[in-house]
């Protein structure tokens, strides 16, 4: 399969006014679900090796699993490291990831700049775009003091200028996971201001559970990559439970149903994000 230039996925999304979905794989069946959804929707996609799968099977095996499935398809996809540690990003570069995210958001601001700048220098020497994060995304909770998590505009401007990152993940009212209460409305004005001051495409993690009108407003404000995992995992789990609720069944039957329901849920996400119908084939 010819080498993809992942940043072009985002550049086209900027021009077209939509967002590309970033979705995580957990096993072969979830990987197949994301790829099949992209085929059905004719959508570009970031296939993300995330924090849950790395301790489960290791970074290399997760990459090889994804690549094996992707090589069977002709979709327009980037194999993307999600929330990579400092050591993992360099392993990902050696393995051949198409794009990477270095997450130094837990570090002191100056240290985040220093490490991100080095990651960008190395990754760019291999033609690999880098996503980074500033501000922190809280875990799902019914009581979050949001002011403690929002990305600061002045820090974002300096961070982008001094690191050279290609994409910036920000905190503007999203969380990892879904709560039982109404979600926090996104801070669209904050997104707008960060986009104007940094002049690079923005990313929102934790898009599961966020109302569609909020996501579309965020896209209009400058977000062109949306990460969602929880909603898709829930769809997969629902498929498993549907089969096993009938009594003892073969695992393969349950996996097939789970994969089918995750495909449907992923196509719906791609439609909501506006990237359905936007794939143009593998780029040289």
Q: Which residue in this structure is represented by tokens 């996609």?
A: 45
Domain spans of the chain, in order of start:
18-273
Tokens found for residue 21:
């979905």
Superfamily of domain 18-273: Aldolase class I (3.20.20.70)
How far apart, in whole angstroms, are the C-alpha atoms of residue 52 and residue 59? 11
Instruction: Classify residue 172 by its DSSP letter.
Output: S
pLDDT of residue 143: 64
182 and 210 in contact (C-beta within 8 Å)? no
Determine the Cα–Cα distance for residues 200 and 168; give it in Å rounded to an integer.
7
Q: How far is CA 72 from CA 65, 115, 195, in A?
A: 12, 36, 37
Q: Are 97 and 79 in contact (CB under 8 A)?
A: yes
Residues tagged active-site: 82
Q: What's the pLDDT score for residue 226?
A: 98
Q: Which helix (H) or strand (E) holds 87?
A: helix 86-95
Contact predicate 31/57, CB 8 Å = no
> In this prediction, what percent of the chain has a pLDDT beyond 70?
90
Contact 78, 279 (CB under 8 A): no
Structure tokens at 175: 């969380």
What local confidence, expressed as pLDDT, does residue 168 receive? Answer: 98
Q: How do residues 230-268 score in pLDDT, each as one tens digit?
A: 999 999 999 999 999 999 999 999 999 999 999 999 999
pLDDT confidence band for 177 (50 / 70 / 90): low
The 10s digit of each residue's pLDDT in 31-56 is 999 999 999 999 999 999 999 999 99
β-pair type (45-49, 130-134): unpaired
Q: With a cut of 90, say whether residue 145 has pLDDT above it.
A: no
Position 211 pLDDT exceeds 70: yes
DSSP reduced 3-state for 22 = strand
Q: What is the pLDDT, as a whole number, of residue 173?
A: 78
């Amino acid at each position: 399969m010819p080498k993809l230039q992942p940043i072009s996925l985002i550049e086209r999304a900027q021009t077209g006014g939509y967002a590309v979905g970033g979705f995580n794989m957990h096993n072969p069946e979830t990987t197949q679900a994301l790829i099949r959804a992209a085929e059905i929707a004719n959508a570009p996609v970031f296939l993300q090796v995330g924090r849950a799968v790395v301790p489960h099977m290791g970074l290399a095996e997760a990459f090889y699993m994804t690549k094996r499935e992707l090589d069977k398809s002709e979709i327009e996809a980037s194999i993307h490291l999600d929330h990579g540690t400092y050591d993992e990003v360099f392993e990902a570069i050696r393995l051949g990831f198409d794009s990477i995210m270095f997450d130094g958001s837990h570090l002191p601001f100056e240290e985040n700049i220093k490490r991100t700048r080095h990651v960008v220098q190395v990754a760019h020497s291999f033609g690999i775009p880098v996503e980074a994060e500033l501000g922190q995304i809280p875990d799902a909770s019914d009581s979050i003091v949001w002011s403690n998590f929002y990305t600061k505009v002045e820090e974002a401007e300096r961070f982008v200028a001094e690191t050279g990152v290609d994409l910036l993940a920000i905190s503007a009212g999203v969380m990892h996971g879904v709560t039982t209460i109404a979600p926090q409305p996104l801070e669209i004005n904050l997104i707008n201001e960060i986009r104007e001051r940094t002049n690079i495409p923005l990313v929102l993690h934790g898009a599961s559970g966020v109302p569609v009108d909020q996501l579309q407003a965020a896209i209009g404000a400058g977000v062109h990559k949306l990460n969602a995992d929880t909603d898709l995992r829930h769809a997969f789990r629902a498929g498993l439970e549907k089969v096993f609720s009938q009594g003892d069944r073969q695992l393969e039957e349950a996996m097939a149903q789970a994969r089918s329901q995750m495909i449907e849920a992923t196509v719906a996400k791609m439609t909501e994000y506006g990237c359905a119908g936007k794939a143009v084939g593998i780029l040289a």
